[in-house]
Amino acid sequence: MWVSIVIFTFFTTLVVIAWKFLNWVWLTPKRMEKILRKQGLKGNSYKFLFGDAKETSIMYKESYSKPIGVNDDIGPRVMPFISKTIKTYGENSFMWVGPRPCVFIMDAELMKVVMNKYNSFHKPFKISNPIFRRLIGGLIRFEGEKWSKNRKKLNPLFHLDRLKDMVGTMQKQCEEILEEWSNMIPKDGSPGMIDVFPYLPDYTGSVVSHTLFTTPFQGIVKRTFNIISELTLLANQAQPFSVPGEQFLPTKKYRRANEIENEVRVTFTSMINERLDKREAGEINREPDLFDMFLDELNDVHNSRDRAMAIQEIIQQCKLFFIAGYETTSNLVAWTIIMLAVHQDWQDRARKEIFEVLGKKDKIHGDDLGHLKVLNLIINEVLRLYPPSVEVTRVVEEETQFGEYCLPKGAMVMLPVILLHRNPRIWGKDVLEFKPERFAEGVLKAANGHAAFIPFGWGQRNCIGANLAVWETKVFVISLLRKFAFELSPEYAHGPLVSLNMQPQYGAPLVLRKL
């Protein structure tokens, strides 16, 4: 009898699992496809399990196999499959991310609705590939009251008054790199060629490490930045959706991801314990930094299980700010330098204004940055053309009426930011040109009255570190323009590539001449 019960239970469980799998991988996708097509949305027919993933992967590989012209539209390069789908089916279209349809939202006003209706449209972390879920956590994944409480607590660290205190550190870290470049250029006054891109993460990593964690950017801390960056590459190479159980497969990719995760956990745990010891001994006599604010969460934790969970959450918070402050900002600095190297007239205008505002004084002060109008225009235009995130994706939590469409639960929506920023109906026929003057009368005027400039997101949940990224970029560019004139090297190849953020695939080799 017991044998019969075991056999019955086994086969019942097997049938339930098989049914759930069939429903997830075929029945539900086909049902959602029918709903979307009835409303006039178009896209490829659903393919079992992988959807459009294979074709997307092939197109990315082909797209990244060769450079493009510096004035070419980068949309088809960084979003090849999406660009093709919209060209084939029109703006009212969708693609398949594994077994989920992903509807493109091209209207700026509807984009705002998606980013502001947090209860209806959630970030897709739960369905992302397991490596990406390890990579991104903390504030960016919090929802509701937990997000509000943490954001309110951290906001003061990123207020302009606090950023002004960081400018000295930014300048110091920047000048160390510029001095190294200076020593690499011939002493006879002739120009020298340097690929500046590999140096920029050291600058932004140093600023984040010193200003937010009060920790020198060296040794194990620098290594941690580097291996977290490696984890972003692994996440980018994985499927964009999660296949149940795939993280347990003994593949080279997941083995390496596990090694990185373990090392990062050990490093941050050591940093946490060291900081807690210093706090307890009364050795910290400065204002709390970001790391201290994370550790405050341990004050109300009393049992070992909850403490372990709290420490894991702190580690995720640290990883988030390491990544955001390290990669996002270094890429913004890189694209700003590249654009100034291409557009010499704007380089000259920015340099002239810098000398007029700063004169001969050595120290850059936070108040100086607000007076650099030309530099502000330049950075806005760089953020339009090379936004840190090329798209924003959300998951529909419940069946939702959205504009003229009714989106089924479980579907996804994608906001292609890079296409919005390059839409000629919004920005004009010169949309592909580098024209910082378009921002002279403000962002809204530049976009012809549309709220269509969203390089750091929109609304309450815009990037908390946006101002820090822009200020770091300003300080580096100011220091660079005071010391060097530069142009693109003949070896430069234009290749915008999306990993976690958009970066120059072939680096940024420049010809620099000392002033």
For the annotated binding site for heme, the residues are 463
**What phi and psi, each to the nearest 5 degrees, are found at residue 205?**
-65, -40
Residues 6+ apart with CB under 8 A from 499: 232, 233, 236, 327
Tokens 């009426």 -> residue: 401
Q: Label each residue of 172-228 as H, E or C.
A: HHHHHHHHHHHHHCCCCCCCEEEECHHHHHHHHHHHHHHHHHCCCCCHHHHHHHHHH
**What phi and psi, each to the nearest 5 degrees, are found at residue 161?**
-60, -40
Closest of 146, 152, 179, 102 to residue 413, by C-alpha = 102
Tokens 């820090």 -> residue: 468
131-to-182, 232, 238, 248, 312 alpha-carbon distances in Å: 40, 8, 8, 11, 16
Pair 351, 150: CB distance under 8 Å: no
For the beta carbon of residue 488, count every other beta carbon within 10 angstroms.
18
For the beta carbon of residue 295, count every other beta carbon within 10 angstroms.
19
Q: What angle do CA 47, 50, 55 make, to 5 degrees?
A: 85
CA atoms within 13 A on the CB side of 448: 12
- In sequence order, the β-bridge partners of residue 496 are 504
**Known binding-site positions:** 463
Which run of H or of E encompasses 502?
Answer: strand 502-504
Closest of 28, 50, 142 to residue 411, by C-alpha = 28
Tokens encoding 317: 């918070």
| Chain centre to alpha carbon of residue 356 | 34
Classify residue 359 as left (phi > 0), alpha (psi -120 to 50) or beta. Answer: left
Whole-number Å distance between alpha carbons of 379 and 469: 11
Pair 394, 412: CB distance under 8 Å: yes
Q: What is the rounded radius of gyration, in angstroms, for the C-alpha atoms of the chain?
A: 25
